[in-house]
Amino acid sequence: MINSKIALIFPGQGSQVVGMGKDLAEKYPVARQTFQEADDALGYKLSQLCFEGPEEQLRLTEITQPAILTTSIAALRVLETRVPKPCYVAGHSLGEYSAHVASGTFSFADAVRTVRNRGKYMQEAVPVGVGTMAAILGMEFEKIAGVCRDAAQGEVCSPANINSPEQVVISGHTAAVERAAKLADERGAKRAKLLPVSAPFHCLLMKPAQDRLEEDLKKLTMHKSVYPVACNVDAELVDDDLRTLDTLLRQVTGSVRWDQCMRLLIGQGVETFIEVGPGKVLCGLMRQIDRSKSCLNVGDEASLEKTVESLSKPA
């Protein structure tokens, strides 16, 4: 694998788990320092919530988002010194901010504060119970788009995360999403299940959050990205600051086109993907997108050693 093109990919919300980042912080000063930086930037002990919980607090969107970002960047900083440089980076939803930190687009401290606010704005955009999300498994995207159109009946219902050929998550008003899940079942989906989420992300109901986030994004000090970032909303490579700001803004109400982003990178010759941060959700999706590609992960000491060893083998 030594000579293969590498892309770093960063997870989004849903990958959080109590204890994440703890063993890296205990063993590596650079990881410990990353959590300290986040604590200082936010003014509270995010590190303690990551390492010890409680879980219900870690699940609050405005805590989850900076927590996953911080764990991802701590893992990245440990990994960076031990593997070849990537050719590309990408992140799923919130993970796109981690990707931009990895690429030097903006500072880690700025990113942590921005995603804390992003989480807060997203949570406050829609009263609890008004919106929800559902995963539809084993159904073609065009059919899912049709199901959303037919189920909307004047409400919001649209594809939110196009994760793989096997999995699309839809989002919108609760009644519309429930109708869509029922329709998908009737029209031959393998499975349609409502998700235990706190808000209907990546749909038009998030417009109030998008409007509030715009002010925060405009205040960021932006730099030209070191590595091209595959952006969620357009599934295109981005490396200039104006385009970055625009894509991160539109991402709040737009679909995460993860399947297309991964195919874009595969089309650029990427053979090895490394999921950097808690969990292995993105490696699972890669198996559904293209099983011939290698997907490694780094979230703790054991997975770090395994990944470094895999990368040192001749391709």
Would you please indicate which residues are annotated as catalytic (active-site) residues? Answer: 93, 202
What's the length of the chain? 315
Residue matched to tokens 């970002």: 69
Distance CA(158)–CA(170), nearest Å, equals: 5
Per the CB < 8 A criterion, the answer to whether 7 and 262 are in contact is no
Question: Could you check whether the bond before residue 314 is cis, i.e. omega within 30 degrees of 0?
Answer: no
Distance CA(293)–CA(286), nearest Å, equals: 8
Phi (first) and psi of residue 133, to 5 degrees: -135, 155
Distance CA(171)–CA(133), nearest Å, equals: 4
Closest residue by Cα to residue 10 from 291, 310, 230, 233:
230
- Residue 169: strand pairing partners: 135, 161
